[in-house]
Structure 1
Amino acid sequence: MTLMLLTFTDVGPNFGAVGGAGDLRTIVGALLTYGLIVAVLMLVVSATTWALASNSGSWHTAQKAKLGCFVAIGGATLSGAALTWANWLLDIGPHL
Protein backbone atom coordinates (compact mmCIF):
# COMPACT_ATOMS: atom_id res chain seq x y z
CA MET A 1 0.00 0.00 0.00
CA THR A 2 1.22 3.38 -0.83
CA LEU A 3 0.76 6.20 1.56
CA MET A 4 -0.49 9.42 0.04
CA LEU A 5 0.58 12.64 1.63
CA LEU A 6 -2.00 15.39 1.44
CA THR A 7 -0.82 18.94 1.23
CA PHE A 8 -3.11 21.83 1.91
CA THR A 9 -3.02 24.53 -0.70
CA ASP A 10 -4.94 27.72 -1.12
CA VAL A 11 -7.88 26.61 -3.24
CA GLY A 12 -10.58 29.07 -4.26
CA PRO A 13 -13.02 29.79 -7.02
CA ASN A 14 -11.76 31.11 -10.33
CA PHE A 15 -13.71 34.32 -10.80
CA GLY A 16 -11.92 35.09 -14.04
CA ALA A 17 -13.39 31.97 -15.67
CA VAL A 18 -16.63 33.70 -16.59
CA GLY A 19 -15.49 35.74 -19.52
CA GLY A 20 -17.84 37.81 -21.60
CA ALA A 21 -20.12 38.97 -18.80
CA GLY A 22 -20.74 42.12 -20.82
CA ASP A 23 -21.87 40.07 -23.82
CA LEU A 24 -24.10 37.99 -21.56
CA ARG A 25 -25.63 41.15 -20.09
CA THR A 26 -26.34 42.44 -23.63
CA ILE A 27 -27.96 39.17 -24.77
CA VAL A 28 -30.11 38.81 -21.65
CA GLY A 29 -31.12 42.46 -21.85
CA ALA A 30 -32.10 42.16 -25.52
CA LEU A 31 -34.13 38.96 -25.02
CA LEU A 32 -35.97 40.34 -22.01
CA THR A 33 -36.62 43.61 -23.82
CA TYR A 34 -38.27 41.69 -26.66
CA GLY A 35 -40.32 39.81 -24.07
CA LEU A 36 -41.41 43.09 -22.50
CA ILE A 37 -42.38 44.56 -25.88
CA VAL A 38 -44.46 41.47 -26.72
CA ALA A 39 -46.17 41.61 -23.31
CA VAL A 40 -47.09 45.28 -23.79
CA LEU A 41 -48.39 44.64 -27.30
CA MET A 42 -50.50 41.75 -26.02
CA LEU A 43 -51.85 44.01 -23.29
CA VAL A 44 -52.95 46.54 -25.92
CA VAL A 45 -54.60 43.83 -28.05
CA SER A 46 -56.33 42.22 -25.06
CA ALA A 47 -57.57 45.54 -23.69
CA THR A 48 -58.95 46.52 -27.10
CA THR A 49 -60.64 43.15 -27.49
CA TRP A 50 -62.04 43.39 -23.97
CA ALA A 51 -63.53 46.83 -24.69
CA LEU A 52 -65.03 45.82 -28.03
CA ALA A 53 -66.43 42.54 -26.72
CA SER A 54 -67.97 44.19 -23.67
CA ASN A 55 -69.58 46.83 -25.86
CA SER A 56 -71.05 44.29 -28.25
CA GLY A 57 -72.38 42.00 -25.50
CA SER A 58 -70.05 39.07 -26.09
CA TRP A 59 -69.35 38.25 -22.45
CA HIS A 60 -67.42 35.06 -23.11
CA THR A 61 -64.95 36.89 -25.38
CA ALA A 62 -64.73 39.76 -22.89
CA GLN A 63 -63.87 37.30 -20.12
CA LYS A 64 -61.09 35.71 -22.19
CA ALA A 65 -59.74 39.14 -23.14
CA LYS A 66 -59.74 40.17 -19.47
CA LEU A 67 -57.71 37.07 -18.63
CA GLY A 68 -55.36 37.99 -21.49
CA CYS A 69 -54.86 41.42 -19.91
CA PHE A 70 -53.94 39.90 -16.57
CA VAL A 71 -51.55 37.42 -18.20
CA ALA A 72 -49.90 40.22 -20.20
CA ILE A 73 -49.46 42.34 -17.06
CA GLY A 74 -47.97 39.34 -15.26
CA GLY A 75 -45.64 38.65 -18.19
CA ALA A 76 -44.46 42.26 -18.29
CA THR A 77 -43.86 42.20 -14.53
CA LEU A 78 -41.92 38.93 -14.68
CA SER A 79 -39.89 40.14 -17.66
CA GLY A 80 -38.90 43.35 -15.90
CA ALA A 81 -38.12 41.48 -12.69
CA ALA A 82 -36.00 38.93 -14.57
CA LEU A 83 -33.98 41.69 -16.22
CA THR A 84 -33.40 43.37 -12.86
CA TRP A 85 -32.43 40.05 -11.24
CA ALA A 86 -30.02 39.12 -14.05
CA ASN A 87 -28.33 42.53 -13.85
CA TRP A 88 -28.06 42.20 -10.06
CA LEU A 89 -26.47 38.75 -10.36
CA LEU A 90 -23.99 39.99 -12.97
CA ASP A 91 -23.10 43.00 -10.81
CA ILE A 92 -22.60 41.02 -7.60
CA GLY A 93 -20.35 38.42 -9.26
CA PRO A 94 -17.13 40.48 -9.31
CA HIS A 95 -17.61 41.56 -5.69
CA LEU A 96 -17.55 38.06 -4.24
Structure 2
Amino acid sequence: MDIQNLNRLKETLTIRKMEMIVTLAELKSLTQTAEAFGRTVPSVSLTITRLEDLSGIKIFSKRGQSFVLSEDGVALVTLLKEMLRVFYEVAPKASSDV
Protein backbone atom coordinates (compact mmCIF):
# COMPACT_ATOMS: atom_id res chain seq x y z
CA MET A 1 0.00 0.00 0.00
CA ASP A 2 1.72 3.17 -1.13
CA ILE A 3 1.40 6.71 0.21
CA GLN A 4 -0.45 8.01 -2.87
CA ASN A 5 -3.19 5.43 -2.35
CA LEU A 6 -3.45 6.37 1.32
CA ASN A 7 -3.64 10.07 0.44
CA ARG A 8 -6.52 9.45 -1.99
CA LEU A 9 -8.28 7.29 0.57
CA LYS A 10 -8.01 9.82 3.40
CA GLU A 11 -9.92 12.36 1.32
CA THR A 12 -13.11 10.28 1.53
CA LEU A 13 -12.81 8.21 4.70
CA THR A 14 -15.25 9.05 7.44
CA ILE A 15 -15.45 7.38 10.84
CA ARG A 16 -18.54 5.52 9.62
CA LYS A 17 -16.75 4.23 6.51
CA MET A 18 -13.80 3.14 8.63
CA GLU A 19 -16.18 1.27 10.93
CA MET A 20 -17.87 -0.31 7.92
CA ILE A 21 -14.58 -1.62 6.51
CA VAL A 22 -13.53 -3.02 9.89
CA THR A 23 -16.96 -4.60 10.45
CA LEU A 24 -16.94 -6.25 7.02
CA ALA A 25 -13.43 -7.55 7.72
CA GLU A 26 -14.61 -9.05 11.01
CA LEU A 27 -17.99 -10.41 9.90
CA LYS A 28 -16.91 -11.37 6.36
CA SER A 29 -20.55 -10.89 5.37
CA LEU A 30 -21.99 -8.04 3.36
CA THR A 31 -25.50 -8.86 4.60
CA GLN A 32 -24.52 -8.83 8.27
CA THR A 33 -22.49 -5.65 7.80
CA ALA A 34 -25.43 -3.94 6.10
CA GLU A 35 -27.71 -5.01 8.95
CA ALA A 36 -25.23 -3.72 11.54
CA PHE A 37 -25.28 -0.28 9.90
CA GLY A 38 -28.97 -0.17 9.05
CA ARG A 39 -28.08 0.01 5.35
CA THR A 40 -28.92 -2.08 2.32
CA VAL A 41 -26.47 -4.61 0.91
CA PRO A 42 -26.12 -2.65 -2.36
CA SER A 43 -25.36 0.52 -0.38
CA VAL A 44 -22.56 -1.12 1.61
CA SER A 45 -21.21 -2.82 -1.51
CA LEU A 46 -21.16 0.48 -3.40
CA THR A 47 -19.42 2.25 -0.52
CA ILE A 48 -16.64 -0.37 -0.41
CA THR A 49 -16.30 -0.46 -4.21
CA ARG A 50 -16.04 3.34 -4.41
CA LEU A 51 -13.37 3.41 -1.71
CA GLU A 52 -11.41 0.71 -3.53
CA ASP A 53 -11.75 2.45 -6.89
CA LEU A 54 -10.81 5.86 -5.54
CA SER A 55 -7.82 4.63 -3.59
CA GLY A 56 -6.58 2.02 -6.02
CA ILE A 57 -6.40 -0.40 -3.08
CA LYS A 58 -8.13 -3.75 -3.39
CA ILE A 59 -9.32 -4.14 0.20
CA PHE A 60 -11.45 -7.27 -0.11
CA SER A 61 -11.77 -10.35 -2.27
CA LYS A 62 -14.94 -12.37 -2.42
CA ARG A 63 -14.66 -16.10 -1.77
CA GLY A 64 -18.05 -17.72 -2.16
CA GLN A 65 -20.34 -15.73 0.09
CA SER A 66 -17.48 -14.47 2.31
CA PHE A 67 -15.37 -11.37 1.98
CA VAL A 68 -11.71 -11.78 2.86
CA LEU A 69 -9.04 -9.14 3.21
CA SER A 70 -6.35 -8.74 0.61
CA GLU A 71 -2.77 -8.20 1.77
CA ASP A 72 -3.28 -4.44 1.49
CA GLY A 73 -6.65 -4.84 3.19
CA VAL A 74 -5.01 -6.46 6.21
CA ALA A 75 -2.59 -3.52 6.52
CA LEU A 76 -5.42 -1.01 6.06
CA VAL A 77 -7.73 -2.64 8.61
CA THR A 78 -4.91 -2.78 11.15
CA LEU A 79 -4.38 0.95 10.65
CA LEU A 80 -8.12 1.72 10.77
CA LYS A 81 -8.58 -0.21 14.02
CA GLU A 82 -5.84 1.84 15.64
CA MET A 83 -7.29 5.09 14.29
CA LEU A 84 -10.75 4.18 15.60
CA ARG A 85 -9.32 3.19 18.99
CA VAL A 86 -7.64 6.58 19.30
CA PHE A 87 -10.76 8.39 18.06
CA TYR A 88 -13.01 6.69 20.61
CA GLU A 89 -10.49 7.31 23.35
CA VAL A 90 -10.12 11.02 22.55
CA ALA A 91 -13.67 11.93 21.38
CA PRO A 92 -15.37 11.65 24.80
CA LYS A 93 -12.61 13.73 26.41
CA ALA A 94 -12.85 16.38 23.72
CA SER A 95 -16.63 16.70 24.02
CA SER A 96 -16.46 17.04 27.81
CA ASP A 97 -13.99 19.92 27.42
CA VAL A 98 -16.46 22.00 25.39
Give TM-score, length-normalised by structure 2.
Answer: 0.29
The structure richer in helix per residue is 1
Greater RCO, 1 or 2 (C-alpha within 8 Å, sep 6+): 1
Point out the structure with max Rg over C-alpha.
1
